[in-house]
Amino acid sequence: MAKVEELEIVNPARQSEELKGVCKDAAKLFKILSNPVRLEILCHILSSKEICVKNLTEFLGRRQANVSQHLAILRNTGIIDFTRRENYVCYFLKDKNLVKLLMEFKSTVGKGRIAGKISAEKMAEGY
């Protein structure tokens, strides 16, 4: 006689609460990522695997104090971490899932943006 699989009973109320929690966490992450300077910092870190503050300030054309403020926000939220290399502080992405997300972001935005606007083709596709 064939074994009958047990079906998991789904509690819609519990699922809804879990979804709210996930959406709330995602919104916090997207709020942090919504700052163009922080996003640019993350893209530089992604491209280099690890980057020192001195290099970041040069790439961004910003003062070290400003870059350090953005790095502190990213570090305090657990997105990046740092290591010391002699007299330099170098940052790296801490979360492998975020690395995948940023790589997809760079790929998607790189293909679909023209002069800071989503292309008409993407808009027509429903994006």
> Which regions of the chain are under pLDDT 50?
114-116, 118-120, 122-123, 127
What is the structure's pLDDT at 122? 46
Q: At CA 57, angle to CA 55 and CA 59, rounded to 5?
A: 70
Judge whether 33 lies within some domain: no
With respect to residue 59, please indicate whether it lies within any of the assigned structural domains.
yes
Check residue 118 and give its pLDDT.
Answer: 47
Task: Tell me whether residue 70 is in a domain.
Answer: yes
Looking at the structure, tell me whether residues 115 and 125 fall in a common domain: yes
Number of Cβ within 10 Å of residue 42's Cβ equals 24
Residue ranges making up the domain that contains 119? 95-127
Do 87 and 58 share a domain, yes or no?
yes
The closest of 79, 34, 72 to 53, measured between CA atoms, is: 72
Cβ-based neighbours of 84, under 8 Å, separated by 6 or more: 90
Please count the structural domains in the chain.
2
Query: Residue 63: its pLDDT value, please?
Result: 96
Length of the chain: 127
Q: What 3-state class would DSSP assign to 90?
A: strand
Q: Does residue 43 lie within any of the structural domains?
A: no
Domain with residue 85: its CATH number is 1.10.10.10
> Are 107 and 124 in the same domain?
yes
Q: For residue range 62-76, list pLDDT tens digits in order.
A: 999 999 999 999 999
Domain membership flag for residue 37: no
Structure-token match 């760079």, residue found: 106
